[in-house]
Structure 1
Amino acid sequence: MYIVIIGGGRIGYYLTKTLLNEGHEVVIVEKEAPLVETLNNEFGSVCVQGDGCELATLIKVGTERADMFIAVTGEDPDNLVSCQIAKHRFNVKRTVARIRNPINEPLFKKLGVDVIVSGTNVILEYIQDEVPTHSLTHLLDIEEGEAIVVIKIPENAETIGQPIRNLEISDDNKLLLVINADRKNRIPTKNTIIKAGDRIIATTTRDKEEDLRRSLTGLE
C-alpha cells in the first residue's frame, strides 16, 4: 500500500517505522526542517518538507495514488483540512485523522473523515485490520533494546487450545494483553488458552522477537 502521513512528530515517526518494516510505501509531510532531516537520516528519503494543508504539497507527494491518508499533526484543524483535501480533491478511499480535543469528533465525522483516533496504537490496530500483515508486528521501542510487539495467532498455529503455562516463554518476555477475534480484551494468565485469531501484545527484546513468535504459534 502507498500511505501518506501528515506530521513527522512522535506519532508520525512510529507509524512510519512500523509501516516501512511491514513493507509498505510511505511518504511523510512535515513542516519543520530539523524533523525532516532526522526522518530522512533514519528512513531514507521518505520525508518531504511542506504544509499538508496545501494542495501543491499534496500533489508533490503523489496523494492521487495513495491507498490511505493519515493526518497526525498536533493541530486538529490541520488534520481535518488535509483529510478533506485528500478525500475530495484526490479521492483517497481511506482517511485517518488524529484528534487532540474530543469535542471536535462530531465535526470530523460529519465532514467524512473515515477514522478518527487519538493515539498511535489505535491507528496501528486499524491499519493492521485493513491490510495483510505478518504474524509479528513490531509496534515501538520503549527503551534500549526493548520493544512492544503484537503477535497474531494464525489458524494453523500448533499452540491453539494450549494454556500459556505449557509454552516455553523466556523470562525476557512479558505478555501484557490478549485481544481475541471478537475484540474482547483480557489480561493473560498461565491458564489462558491460546485461540486462533488472538492478538497478543507483549514486551520483549529485539533479539528475542522471533523466539517469542515461535513460542506463541509453534511455527517456524
Structure 2
Amino acid sequence: MKILIMGAGRVGTSVAENLVSEQNDITVIDSDPSQLQYLQEHFDLRVVLGDGSQVSVLENAGAADTDLFIACAASDTANMVACKIARQLFNIPRRIARIRSAEFPEHPELMSEDGFCIDALISPERSVTTYLHSLIEFPEALQVVEFAEGRVSVVTVRVGAGSPMAHSSVDKLRDVWPDVKARVIDVLRGGRPLRAGSGTVIAPGDEVVLVVDSDHARRAVRQLRDAERAVRRVMIAGGGNIGLRLARQLAEEKYSVRIIEHDLKRCEYLATQLPDSVLVLHGSGTDEALLERENIEDMDTWLALTSDDEDNIMSSLLAKRLGARKVIALINRQAYGELMQGSHIDIAVSPSQATMSELLRHVRRGDVAAVHRLRQGVAEALEAIAHGDRSTSKVVGRPVGKISLPKGASIGALVRGEEIILPDADTVIETDDHVIVFVPSRQQMPRVEKLFQVSASFF
C-alpha cells in the first residue's frame, strides 16, 4: 500500500515506524529537516520537505497515486485542509486526520464530502485516556481491549500464586471455570511467548491473554489472580490534555481525584476546567514532601502522565516506594516501557501503541471493525467481518480447523448476531460473522488480511 503521511512529529514518526515495517511504501512530509533526517536515517522510506497543506508539496510527494493519506501535523487546521486537497485535487481514496479539538467530532457534517473530506479521525489523547480508564476500571488487568462494540474483551492478566489456574494446563481451564465464556489465546513467561497449546501448564507469574465474553470478564480475571480492592482514590501527575481528560471523566464518575501540575498558569486553567471535587496541586510529581503531604500511601492508583518519560518513571518509582497501591506510567520510548513494566512500575502505557490501535482499523485490508496491539505492540488482535460464500471467500463455509492461519495465529471468538461463540476446530464460519483473530506477529498480518478479502466475483 502506498501511504502518504503529513507530519513527522511524535505521532507521525510512530505511524511511519509501525507501517514501514509491514512493507508499505511510505512517504513523509514535514517542514522540519531535522525530523525528516532522523526518519530517513532509521527507516526505509521517502521524505519530502515542505508544508503538506500546499498543493505543490503534495504533488511532489506523489499524492496522485497514493492509496492512503494520514494528516497528523501539529495543527488541526492544516490537517483538515490537507485532507480536503487530497480528496478534491488528487482523489486519494482514504484520508485520516489527527484532530486534537474535542469539538470537531461533535459535527460529523464537517467530515463529509461537502466538508473537509475526512474518512476517519484519530485522537491520541482520546485513545490514551480511554485505555487508561479501562485499566482503572479493571485494576487486576495489565491490558483490556474491546471488540464487537464492547461485547467481547481481550484481557491480559499476570497469574497470581494463589490462582486456581496456576499449575493447570490450558485444556483443563474449562473445568476451573465451567460457567465462564473465556479462552486462553496466548501465554508469556519471562516476557517471552510460549506459543501455548492445549497441554501448556500455566505457572504463577505468567502473563495470560484471554478472549472473553465481556459480561464474564471480571469473573475470569479473578480466577487468575486475587480480586483487588476497587479503585476510588486516584492521583495524577501531569495536567496536559490527557491528564485533564482523564481527571474530568473520573470526577464525573465520583472518583476522588488529585492532579499535580508544575506550571502555575496551567494549574489555574485546570482549576477552571475541572469540577470543584478535583484538587489541583501546583508542584512536581517527583517532590517527595508533596506526595507525603497529600497522603500518597492512601492512593489506589497513581498515574504519571507528563510528556517526559524520565519524569514519569522517577515519579512512579517514588510513588510506589511511598505506598501507592498501583502505579501506571505513560512512557513513549518502547525500550523504556519494556524495561520498567512489571518491576516497581505496574503498567507502562505506550501512547503510540494506543494510537496505532485506533489507526490500524483504517489501514488493514478487508472489512475490519477493530484492531488492537498486544504485547507492547508485537502482536495484534483484530475483528474482521466475514463476507461472501464458500466460492468467493477463504473463510466462509469452512470449519475453523481448516482455515490456513499463519503459525501461532488463532481464532478466539465469533460474534454471530446476538450470540458469542468460542469456536472449536469443527465450528463453521458463516457470512457476516465477526471473527476475533489473534496474530502473534505483525509480519503475519498480510496473510490474515488476505483470508478475509472476498474474490472479485463476489461483487
TM over 0.5: yes
Contact 1:159/1:194, CA 8 A, preserved across alignment: no
Is the aligned partner of 1:150 residue 2:386? Answer: no
- The letter of the residue matching 2:91 is N
Alpha-carbon deviation of 1:36?
A: 0.5
Structure 2: gaps of 5 or more residues: 125-354, 385-394, 430-434, 449-459
Give, in whole Å, the separation in 2 of the partners of 1:101 and 1:83.
16
Would you say how many aligned residue pairs link Structure 1 and Structure 2?
A: 175
Give, in whole Å, the separation in 1 of the partners of 2:383 and 2:102.
34
Alpha-carbon deviation of 1:73?
A: 1.3
Contact 1:14/1:140, CA 8 A, preserved across alignment: no
- The letter of the residue matching 1:49 is L
Cα distance change of structure 1 residues 112 and 153 upon mapping to structure 2, 3 Å threshold = closer
- The letter of the residue matching 1:198 is I
- The residue number in structure 1 matching 2:358 is 122
Alpha-carbon deviation of 1:8?
A: 1.2
Contact 2:26/2:45, CA 8 A, preserved across alignment: no
Q: Deviations over 1:124-150 (max 9, x none)?
A: 122115589xxxx995995xxxx4420
Query: TM-score, length-normalised on structure 2?
Result: 0.33
- The letter of the residue matching 1:124 is L
Is the aligned partner of 1:108 residue 2:111? Answer: yes
Give, in whole Å, the separation in 2 of the partners of 1:8 and 1:52.
11
Alpha-carbon deviation of 1:19?
A: 1.9
Contact 1:18/1:138, CA 8 A, preserved across alignment: no
- The residue number in structure 2 matching 1:198 is 436
Contact 2:83/2:116, CA 8 A, preserved across alignment: no
Give, in whole Å, the separation in 2 of the partners of 1:48 and 1:179.
43
Contact 1:139/1:148, CA 8 A, preserved across alignment: yes
Contact 1:76/1:101, CA 8 A, preserved across alignment: yes
Alpha-carbon deviation of 1:44?
A: 3.2
Give, in whole Å, the separation in 1 of the partners of 2:23 and 2:79.
25
Contact 2:8/2:29, CA 8 A, preserved across alignment: yes
- The residue number in structure 2 matching 1:12 is 12
Alpha-carbon deviation of 1:55?
A: 1.1
- The letter of the residue matching 1:108 is M
- The letter of the residue matching 1:59 is E
Alpha-carbon deviation of 1:47?
A: 1.9
Work out the percentage of aligned pairs sharing the same amino acid.
24
Q: Secondary structure at the match of 1:112?
A: coil
Q: Quick one: higher RCO (CA 8 Å, sep 6+), 1 or 2? A: 1
Q: Secondary structure at the match of 1:100?
A: coil
- The letter of the residue matching 1:104 is F
Give, in whole Å, the separation in 2 of the partners of 1:74 and 1:179.
39
CA-based RMSD of the aligned residues comes to: 3.7
Give, in whole Å, the separation in 1 of the partners of 2:52 and 2:437.
34
Cα distance change of structure 1 residues 181 and 34 upon mapping to structure 2, 3 Å threshold = farther
Alpha-carbon deviation of 1:18?
A: 2.4
Contact 1:179/1:200, CA 8 A, preserved across alignment: no
- The letter of the residue matching 1:118 is S
**Structure label with greater radius of gyration:** 2
Q: Secondary structure at the match of 1:84?
A: helix
- The letter of the residue matching 1:47 is V
- The letter of the residue matching 1:123 is L
- The residue number in structure 2 matching 1:165 is none
Mapping for residues 1-220 of structure 1, pairs under 5 Å: 1-105=1-105, 106=107, 107-109=110-112, 110-119=115-124, 120=355, 121-130=357-366, 142=376, 147-152=377-382, 155=395, 158=401, 193=422, 197-200=435-438, 209=440
Contact 2:29/2:47, CA 8 A, preserved across alignment: yes
Give, in whole Å, the separation in 2 of the partners of 1:33 and 1:180.
48
